[in-house]
Structure 1
Amino acid sequence: MLPDPGASRAVLIGSSHFDHLEQLPAVVGNLAALAETFCHSTSWGLPPENCVVVSNPASNDEVMTELRLAAKQARDTLLVYYAGHGLIDLQNALQLALPKSHKQRVESGLPYDYLRQAVLGGKSERQVIVLDCCFGGMALGVMAGTPELVDQAAVEGSYLLAAASETSYALAPPGETYTAFTGELLEVLRTGIPDGPELLELDAVYRHLRLTLGAKQRPIPQARNRNTSARLALGRNLAFLPGPPVGTSASPNMDLRTWTSAEDIRTVQGFVAALQNVRQASGLSQKAVSYRSGGRISGSGVSKLLTRETLPSTWTAVPTFLSACGMPAEQVEQWHAAWTRLRAEQASTTPAAQPPERQIPKPAVGARGAWRKLTSRIGRPKPR
């Protein structure tokens, strides 16, 4: 499942500067790189306004305001990411450290349960929580985890991915741009998984992270999945087998490709993003799509279709594009239904055009009135 970017939200929270805890400068790089990657067309394709970065928040209120707003707005997928120190109190409850947090005053952090309640109180169908957090008081560059961290953080109906394993530490190596876990996650999102699935499904990402981090003798992450959210994808696998050369026929295994389901399209932004995903799934260049359409759609026409910001006003070009990419006819019909639904939604939300104001004709000017008007302009004739 590829989430509709127009109906999804991401909140990226990070604490890098602390008054009483070890500094984590790599968290700054984490936030900037993740936001850029999630908004890139080759990844999730989130609109920038749908991806909020909360860096070094001054208070719990600052974080919770953004969380509640995103949870209210997201209809498809809500992703919440936190990087920083993790604090465990005497009741083994997880606290997310803020800049003014103190290891002996864990109440100064953000209780994880606050975040959990905000996610559960939202409207999204799927939730993803990513925790790259630490246990304060360790040496510079080391973030400690506990066996209970993942189990505490698990949210019913969501997918949780945590950097801390049961018996090891999560690392923020000094001098590196990113923390160990997030750096590897970014590598997967940017370059893909060799010999991996076509989509970067969360479970595939998790398994790959375990292998790559283990090979580097770095901490092994943990994951919890409470439903089918493990099949949720955060983009296409850029290391998937390449498509055929430009101008050639499509792959003989085209029927095995994973086409974006029209049922998952909720917004105009999602419709355009899904068109881009179809082109990527086909393995064809824009020129090759035009070639396979028999010239019914030009290469520039394909480009305009994939980069537009509004819903196509007519259906003509869309089925030509989809068929040229190799999509089966029955799925093209499902796309038509999605396009029709979005058109109807736009029509219902667009204010009705106001009728033009009625022009009231001015009263006719009689002959004597016209003479007076004329003489008032040029003056009365002088007596002879």
Structure 2
Amino acid sequence: MVRKEDLLKTLVDLRDEEFEDFKCLLKEERLEGYQTIKASQLQNAERRDTVDLMVQTYQLPGAVEATKKLLEKINRNDLLQSLSDSSSGPEVNFSDDLGTSENGGPSSCLTPPPPLLPPLSLLEVHEEQQAAKPRVCAGTKLKTCLVFLGILVFLVCCVFIPYGTVISLHHPSSYNETTTVGTTEGTTEGTTEGTTVAQLEETLSTKMKNQFEDELKRVQQYAVDVTLDPDTAHPKLILSADGKQVHHGDVKKNLPDNPERFTLYADVFGKQSFSSGRFYFEVQVKEKTDWDLGVARESIDRKGEIPLSPQYGFWTIWLRNGNEYKALDNPSVDLYLKSPLQKVGVFVDYEEGLVSFYDVDAAALIYSFTGCSFTEKLYPFLSPSFNYGGKNSVPLIICPVNQTA
């Protein structure tokens, strides 16, 4: 008989990425006669929490059944076998006349129960069904990368390659080898496919990098001189004399509570406002653990607790805990970057309703808010966040834009 502790031990034996795949599949799991587990309940659930949710939702037998199915989908047949072995329970001996229980007393049944099916037969029952059913989340990262690569290849072909052009990634002498991919055996197939993918990835990466470099040069032409407005700065913020730097000072200064000033969060506006055209500015963010950056409309609430989202007049990205980047769209979007940001470029096209963020050093687009509807003045918006005992004391710095030729 499988116990709740057996389920927990099974989940503990999963690697972290396997456990995330397990939870992702669990959101889609449908057991007849039971409700499904909501995605919001599983979002931050640890292993023990997940076991509790399964038992509460499916009861113990249903939780065992769901766990076995998901272990099969993520290819952890070793754990499936162990869990199935636990299901068989302790062996019971039967006498020829009267059965006896483990404690020596008479057993309540005279004939042994039918033998359990071996665990492999459970797999065979579902083999055809599972072979036809796509794995939704197992290997999520690899599949996501492959799908993304395929989309980029298609876009590059559409944008950069004239209609009717034939692409050849190999020298003509290797044509025969390339055309036999999928029909040869041994290492030829893997070598050819690997070479093709590597060359395609390199070509694609180069073209995309060149495209983003050209794009960054284009938006840098709209650079404007931005200085910070001390009349809007939170009382704990310290601005440099030239209005180009800001950091959190821990001590609240005695400043007039004018309508323009932020009083709840450590925010500050730029002095310059924009109600038409295009503008661009750059901010150095390196060595900080937390910050907010973007643009905001003039009429936002500067005194209350308002979420940073386009719905409330903010178009921003942020950093938290040193490595958690997010675009605060509606809904927010997690940003996965190759390396920590050092300098961020902010570009706005007022008439087009566009706000874009760039990694200046990598000449890469970070995120774009599109389809925005601007009807009033926009201001540069910065927050160095709290000091956190000196861990986040480095200032945000508005930098001069160095346009490359």
The TM-score, its normalising length taken from structure 2, stands at 0.20
In proportion to residue count, which structure has more helix? 1
